[in-house]
Copies of this chain bind each other. A is one copy, B any other.
Amino acid sequence: MSILEENINRTELSQIGEFGLIDHLTKNVELKNDSSVKGIGDDCAVLDYSHKQTLVTKDLLIEGVHFDLTYAPLRHLGYKAAVVNFSDVVAMNGHPKQLIVGLGASNRFSVEALEEIYAGIYLACEKYGVDVVGGDTVSSSAGLVISITCIGEAKKADLVFRDTAKKGDLIFVSGNLGAAYMGLLVLEREKQAFKADPNLQPDLSGHDYILSRQLKPEARIDVLDMLKNAGVKPTSMIDLSDGLASDLLHLCEKSKLGCSIYEDKLPIDFTTAAMAQEFNIEPAIAALNGGEDYELLFTVSQKDYEKLKEVKEITVIGHMTEEAAGRNLISQSGSQITLRAQGWDAFLKNDGKL
């Protein structure tokens, strides 16, 4: 939503009221999944998970902490809010099926602004085959609050947890790392430049890839399919929301193991590396501590290694060790560095940045 759009067509929330707003935002919803029995319009959504295990995850996103409306377009924000929840279901080796949306917004938002958020949510749901089955839209005295609950399914035998990695398992990541963080830094830089001189046009050209990784991430449901086709079930899995170091430490702690990963194995896109250099950041640091990549981090039994050799989009970066060996990064020079979680920690840093 640009300021321009706001001026052209602005319907006040008070014009249609709470119930009118929910109806308006959800009037075209059609349920597509067999497990979606009853959607919006009653006290609860009704789901049928009689043949599968039910997965439930939720996220609470708060303006000024998790997103900055200065540079996050509302449609992208809706898309991302949905996708990061899909990603949690995918990280269990499950498939997202239903979404419930809670929005808290003050009168500074118009109906059209909330339509934009919903448009992004619907776009993500359309792409991932997910039904919106519930919505709650309330007044917020402060900033925008987005609360998403996602429900998904998995066969019991397919579920992959965090606490089931084994010593000697290989550690893989999908895609590449650090791009979303570099996208954030570019957006922050242009925001600061704009603040200093409001006549300045933001210079985002040439940064499409890292910007899309930050503003419009995807859940790696395609990686689940590739692993399945290869006949491999990961021994443990997590999605990369807080950063590789932090999330790998979760796997280690839950599985009571150590790990060794190798700096020179970390998959980093060349645009990420170039931008990291521009910001005077080691690309490996961006890969380790930059969050919000929403790639999958998973461990695989060594016996399955051959089966994965032909699978694209995944990279082996190390292996799990016994707990006493510690959690280590082996640098390019061969030195061993203890891994520390330096990703997002909401209460230490209040600005949504690393």
Interface, chain A (partner B; CB < 8 A): 13-14, 17-19, 21, 37-38, 41-66, 88-89, 91-92, 94, 98, 100, 102-104, 106-107, 133-134, 136-143, 145, 147, 149, 151-152, 154, 156, 159, 161-163, 237-239, 254, 344-348, 350
Contact = CB atoms under 8 A, between A and B. Distances in A.
A43 B102 contact: no
Nearest to A16: B347
B159 A46 contact: yes
Contact of A347 (B57, B139, B237): B139
Nearest to A154: B46
A281 B263 CA distance: 72
A66 B149 CA distance: 20
Contacts of A50: 49-52
A91 B41 CA distance: 13
B56 A44 contact: yes
10 contacts: A13-B347, A18-B347, A44-B89, A45-B55, A46-B53, A56-B98, A57-B100, A60-B104, A66-B138, A142-B143
B139 A38 contact: no
A45 B17 contact: no
A344 B49 CA distance: 34
Contacts of A17: 345, 347-348
A143 B138 CA distance: 14
B62 A53 contact: no
Given A18-B344, A59-B136, A65-B139, 13 more contacts: A17-B347, A38-B161, A42-B92, A43-B239, A44-B57, A45-B55, A50-B51, A60-B138, A62-B142, A62-B145, A65-B138, A65-B140, A100-B149
Contact of A62 (B13, B104, B237): B104
Contacts of A138: 60-62, 65-66, 346
A347 to B, nearest CB: 4
A46 B92 contact: yes
A1 B61 CA distance: 26
Contacts of A41: 162-163, 254
Nearest to A254: B41
Given A141-B142, A143-B141, A143-B142, A149 B43 contact: no
Nearest to A50: B50
A58 B45 CA distance: 10
A18 B346 contact: yes
A102 B21 CA distance: 24
A168 to B, nearest CB: 22
B162 A62 contact: no
The 6 closest A-B pairs by CB, nearest first: A142-B142, A60-B102, A139-B346, A64-B141, A147-B147, A43-B91
Contacts of A103: 60
A223 B287 CA distance: 56
Given A89-B44, A347-B14, A347-B21, A147 B102 contact: yes
Given A17-B345, A63-B141, A347-B139, A47 B53 contact: yes
B102 A59 contact: yes
Given A104-B60, A162-B41, A139 B350 contact: yes
A284 to B, nearest CB: 23
